[in-house]
Chains A and B, each alone.
Chain A
Amino acid sequence: MLIFNRLETYLFLAVVLFAIGLYGVLARRNLIAVLISVELMLNAASLNFMAFNRFLAPHPAVGQVIALFIMAVAAAEAAIALSIIVAVYRKLKSINAEHASELRG
C-alpha cells in the first residue's frame, strides 16, 4: 500500500508536528516564537481531523468544516496574541516572557 494512502502516516506526522510545537512553547522565551509554536500545534490538530475525515469518517464534509473552524479560531487567537505582545512591548520594552512577571505573587 502506498505510504500516502495510510492513516498512520498522517497521524505520525501530526504527532511530530505537535511535539515540535510543544517544545517551542515550553523552551522559547520570545513571545512571538511561542505564538508561532502554538500555530504549529493547532495545525497538527487540524491535520488529525483531516486524516480521520479522509480515512474513517462517514461524511467527508464534516472534517473539512471543522478544519475551517480551527483556522478561524487560530486567526482570532493570532490577532489577540499579537496585540497583547505589542502592548507588552510598549509597557516593558521587551517581548521576553520572563520579563513579563509583574503579576507574580
Chain B
Amino acid sequence: MSVLSTESFAQMAFWVVVGLTIGGACIAVFPRNILYNVLGLAMALSGVAGLYLYLGSLFIALMQLLIYVGAITIAICFAIMLSSPMYLPGPPRSPLKLLGGLLGAGGVFAFLLLLTRRTTWVPAKERVNDWSIKTIGDFLLTDYVLIFEVISLLLLVAMLGAIVTARNGRGT
C-alpha cells in the first residue's frame, strides 16, 4: 500500500512537471508581452530541470536551475530593460506569416513524432550503473578534455565578443 502511494505521488508530481514544462513553453512563445515570455521561459526551464530529476541526474537538474534559470533568464531580463519600451504597441502582424510559422512547425512536429514512433530503440548490451558526480568529473578531464578546453575558450571569446559588440557606437 505504501509503495502504491509513493508511486502515485511520483506520477502526480511527474504530471505537474510536465504541465510546468509545456505550459511554460506556451507562455514563452504565444503572448505578445515580452516579460510574460521570459517568465514562461523560466517556468519551462524549471520544468525541464524536474524532468532531469526523473531521468536520474540531480547534478544536471541543479546545473539547469543555476545556469538557465539563474543566469540566462536574468541576462534576457537585462536586455529587455535596455531595449525598447513595452508600452508602445507593436505593428500589426500579418496572419499569412503566422500561418506559415504554424505550418512549418507543424510539419517538423509531425516528422519528428513519426520518427520517434517508428524507430525501435535498442538499449546497449552492457550498461554501467554509475551516476556519481565524480565519474562526470573524471570523464571531463580524461575522454572529453579537448571539448572541455574548447568550450572554455568559446565562453571566453563569447564574453569578449559580447563586450565589444554591445560597447560599439557608445562613444569613447
Contact = CB atoms under 8 A, between A and B. Distances in A.
* Majority DSSP secondary structure for residues of B touching A: helix
Nearest to B103: A26
B72 A19 contact: no
B98 A19 contact: no
A59 interface: yes
Given A33-B37, A56-B123, A74-B72, A68 B102 contact: no
A7 interface: yes
A40 B102 contact: no
A71 B37 CA distance: 20
Given A21-B29, A28-B29, A69 B104 contact: no
A89 B116 contact: no
Interface in A10-58: 10-13, 15-24, 26-30, 32-33, 35-37, 39-40, 43, 46-47, 50-58
Interface of A: 2-4, 7-8, 10-13, 15-24, 26-30, 32-33, 35-37, 39-40, 43, 46-47, 50-62, 64-65, 67-69, 71-80, 82-87, 89-91, 93-96
Interface residues of B, number: 89
A69 B169 contact: no
Interface in B11-48: 11, 14, 18, 21-22, 25-26, 28-29, 34, 37-38, 41, 44-45, 48
Nearest to B116: A11
Interface in B111-159: 112-113, 116-117, 121-131, 135-136, 138-140, 144, 147, 151, 154-155, 157-159
B79 interface: yes
B42 to A, nearest CB: 10
A51 B55 contact: yes
